[in-house]
Structures are given as structure tokens and as C-alpha cells.
Structure 1
Amino acid sequence: MQTTATRVAAVPVTLRGVDRVFGSGDAAHVVLSGVDLDVPAGEVVALLGASGCGKSTLLRLVAGLDRPSAGEVNIDGARVDGIEPRAAVVFQEPRLLPWRTLAENVAFGLPSGGSRETRRAHVAHALDTVGLAPFAGYRPRAVSGGMAQRTALARALVRRPGVLLLDEPFAALDALTRLRMQDLVDDLQRTSGATVLLVTHDVDEALQLADRVVVLAPHPDRAAGAGIAHMLDVPGARPRDRADPVLAALRVELLDRLGVPRHRPHPA
């Protein structure tokens, strides 16, 4: 699988005092409250937390698909106000147009402008990057779930985003395909240099891909809403050995933070 990618101008992401409240009055539902986060250019940050703690909401705020109720989100020092052109999102489902070929689906990610030849070259390069060049003319129904998700990744990469936002992109894949996709994303990030925010429920995935893990959880001292409960730097350069005992120890720590108890063997 080809993983050569053109390096991009990675940019930092900052959140200051970010709240997100849905509804109003008695029907108000506070999802995020007082979130402060700095993501340096080129860093990979994994967001962990229980369902409903605002991980995907935070990602949507960075992408400009939603707006904070309070506070602000900045990319490279400029406030996010509407759809952010320097960011690209890969969702849990590929969200491909079934009547279009894989190449045509990738082309939807291209910014406007440029000659037809140049656009075709960019699409071909993006498909080659994720190992799908031979399948450019196939339609989504003719390829596997993993190939469809690689197409979605190519559609994001063709934009050459400074910030790549991954919202549980491997959750629907089988275990082996998921591991291969993790390795692909790791390779692509290291060669492209993009800043990455990854939402996941998988502790092992977070430790494999991220430079830092951020745990979101309800505030113990606030009436409602989640915030950053813990941050963990992951030591060692990527790609990492999945059998590294250091990662195993960090896994236990993160599971403890997430409220997952350890099960020790019963005495004989």
C-alpha cells in the first residue's frame, strides 16, 4: 500500500472557554463546559471519554460544522467562523455517494478551481496514497467497508488539510481491517505532517496513534457539561510496538480514568 503524501503546512488548534449548550431554559442540555485545549501544529491528539461526553461535538466545533455557545475555537490564530477550509473530517461512516465512482467521490473533497487535468492528478494521487489506485472506477457497492473508508480518507487528504479530524473512523470495521487502517493513518500523518484530532472509544487505538490523550468527563464541580478531566503524554516515537509493556501500563491508567475496573484473577 502506497503511503507517500505531500507534506502540508500543519497549523495549531486552540479552544478557550468553550461551552456547547443545546436547547434553552428548562430544556437546555449542556454538553461541553469550559473547555481549554492547545494542540500544537503537527501533534496527534486522541479524545477519549464515555458516550455523550462531547467528543464528537468538540470535533464539529473545530471543523466549523457547529458553533460554540460560549468561548472560541481558533486555527492558526484565526477564529473558526463557519466551515473551516483548513480542516477536513472523516466520519464513522464513509458517506460516499453510491452512484459515483471512488474517484468521483474523492473529487468532491477538492477545493474549487484548478484545471481538469490538475484535479484528476490530485484525485489519482490521493487514491494511490491510500492504496486504491486500481479501484478508481469502482462504485462503493463493489468494494469492502475498509476500502470505502480508505476512500473517505482520500477525500479528506485531497484537500491537503492542515487539520485532519477523525470521528471514530474505524468503529464499523472488523478488528484486522481496523489495525491496518490505524497503521495507514499513522503513516499518512507522519508523512503529511497534518495536525490530527482523533475521537475514539478504543484505548489501544489512542495509545497507538496519539502523541497525547485527552480524557473528557463530566465536571465534578459544575452542574452540567463535560470538560477535560485528564491529559496523558504518550512516550516514544511512532510507529509504536503494540506489544510495548509501557503502553500496557498506560492502558491500565487510562481505563482507570474512564472508570473501567481491573479484573484480577480469583485465588485458586
Structure 2
Amino acid sequence: MSTSAARLAPGLHTAPAPVSMRQVGRAFVGRRGTHRVLDDVTLRIEAGEVIALLGASGCGKSTLLRLVGGLDRPSAGEITVDGRAVRGVAARTAMVFQDPRLLPWRTLAGNVAFGLAPGHDRTTARADVRAWLELVGLGDFTEHRPRQVSGGMAQRTALARALARRPGVLLLDEPFAALDALTRLRMQDLVGQVQRAAGSTVLLVTHDVDEALRLADRIVVLGPAGPAGQGSTVQHVTAVPGVRPRDLGSPASAALRTDLLDRLGVAPEGSRSS
């Protein structure tokens, strides 16, 4: 997979935005009562930082991502993007889901164009769409339909569509979960290249510890907040040593991997580093 990440036009570079979460909670009320998903989540993400969210299934990782993007509203607390409280869909954010969610009747170029902010004239829009598709290695497939490309190519198109919004914050909700192992590794490399080229702050939800270690500057583990009935909260935050892309075989990465797996209840008992 080749990309043009290093040659991204300066005019397409995005100004990264910081994210602040202060005592954020989210509860859902149903027939069986109130289900608290998140409680007292407080976290600061610096502009241009890559953060990975880890935690057991159902701990609220995707819910938190949706709150940052304005696709849902917190029951308590406040989230700001670039210093502005999130009220409705946040204009400075864009999200990539597990499913590419492409419009089947549009070409790949048409799908990316769908993500452009209003105000582009036709010539500029065409050039920008081409640039984003080149960035993700799809410059030769602009007129293909989603049904004519692989799952990995469809997901790269979804990434280009999100980037076309010029987001200060790029939200990735397990975007590689449905891909085969080799394509997943290639997509991880691509996201790293794209982030360095485009400049967006990135918040990534993943179940894969190795993926978090490869891509993130810091890893946030969501875990139980306390007594039964309370939602998840930030259990642990750790900086990932080394410069991306990282050698996961290094002693530092291996030790951190063991610690994170232990915190997630996967590593053998007694393996947690002190």
C-alpha cells in the first residue's frame, strides 16, 4: 500500500484541536431502570495528540467517542473541543466507524466529496477530493463504486471522507475491526502516516493492545468506577515511550503490553509491573 502522506499539500493541513472532558457521565433510562455507562470521566487531550481508549466490551468507549463528536449528549459534566462546549454535532470533529458506511450509488470520489465543508467551488472541491484519495493510496480508484473495491479500500475511503472535513479531532471507532490481519496492519501504518501529514488530534477506540501501542502517544484504560450500578471511568492513563511508529519488540513496549493486558484481566496473575 503506497500513500502520498509525506506530500500532502500544505493548504490541506488541519489545525489540531484540544479536547477536555470534565466529570462526564452518561446514563440511559429504560424499562428496567437507569443504566449508568460512564461516571466522572475527566481527561485532557492536547492538540495533535493520539489517544487510544482501551477497556472491556461495554465499558463505554464508543459512547465516550460519540459524546466528543456530539452524536450524543452527556447526562453530567461537560466536553469541550478547541475550548468550545460540544452542543450537537461538533463541527471540529469527524468520525470513522467500524463499517465504512459509504453511499453505494456514489463513486469513491463522490463519497469523499460528501465530507467536504460547504463553500467549495467545483474546481477546488475536485482537487481536494483527489488530494485526500491520493493521501490514502486511492488516487487510481476515484471513479470506482464501493462494490468494486475491497473492504480495506472502502475503509480508506471512509478515512479520506472524514479527513475532507478538515477535522481538528479525528474520532476512530474500531475502524479496523472487520479487516483481515494483514490489511489491519497496513491500515494502522496508514493512520500513523495520515496523522503526521494532516495534523489532526486523534481519539481511537480499540480492543487491540498492540494497536494502541503502535499508534498512541497515551493509552487510557476505562474501567469500573466503584460500587455496582456505577458506570466506567478513567482507571489508568499511561504514556507510550518511543517515537511512532514503534518497535513492539522493545523491552519498554513488552513491559507496557504486559501491564495493560493485566489491567484488562488478560495477562497471567502477578505479571503487573510495579
TM range (shorter): over 0.9
Query: Which residue identity lines up with residue 185 of structure 1 in the other structure?
Result: V
Tell me the TM-score normalised to structure 1 length: 0.95
Are positions 1:161 and 2:161 aligned together? no
Pick one of 77, 82, 97 that aligns with 2:88: 82
C-alpha distance in 2 between matches for 1:171 and 1:156: 18
User: What is aligned with 2:105?
Assistant: 99
**Which is worse superposed, 17-26 or 242-251?**
17-26
C-alpha distance in 1 between matches for 2:138 and 2:227: 49
User: RMSD over aligned Cα, in angstroms?
Assistant: 1.5
Pick one of 42, 50, 53 that aligns with 1:44: 50
Question: What's the CA shift for 1:66?
Answer: 0.4
Q: Secondary structure at the match of 2:187?
A: helix
C-alpha distance in 1 between matches for 2:73 and 2:210: 31
How many residues are treated as equivalent by the alignment? 264
Question: What's the CA shift for 1:26?
Answer: 4.9
User: What is aligned with 1:241?
Assistant: 247
What are the within-5 Å matches in structure 2 for residues 155-234 of structure 1? Answer: 155-221=161-227, 223-234=229-240
User: What is aligned with 2:68?
Assistant: 62
CA gap 1:263/1:231 in 2 versus in 1, 3 angstroms: closer
Pick one of 90, 109, 112 that aligns with 2:115: 109
User: What is aligned with 1:145?
Assistant: 151
C-alpha distance in 1 between matches for 2:156 and 2:31: 43
Question: What's the CA shift for 1:137?
Answer: 0.3
Q: For each residue in 1:58-90, what CA deviation from the matched residue of structure 2 results, as whole angstroms up to 9, or x when unmatched?
A: 000000000001111001111000111110100
Question: What's the CA shift for 1:23?
Answer: 1.1
Q: Secondary structure at the match of 2:165?
A: coil
Structure 1: runs of 5 or more not aligned: none
Query: Which residue identity lines up with residue 87 of structure 2 in the other structure?
Result: D
Q: Secondary structure at the match of 2:140?
A: helix
Q: For each residue in 1:148-186, what CA deviation from the matched residue of structure 2 results, as whole angstroms up to 9, or x when unmatched?
A: 000000001111111000000000000010000000000
User: What is aligned with 1:31?
Assistant: 37
C-alpha distance in 2 between matches for 1:130 and 1:241: 23
C-alpha distance in 1 between matches for 2:261 and 2:198: 31
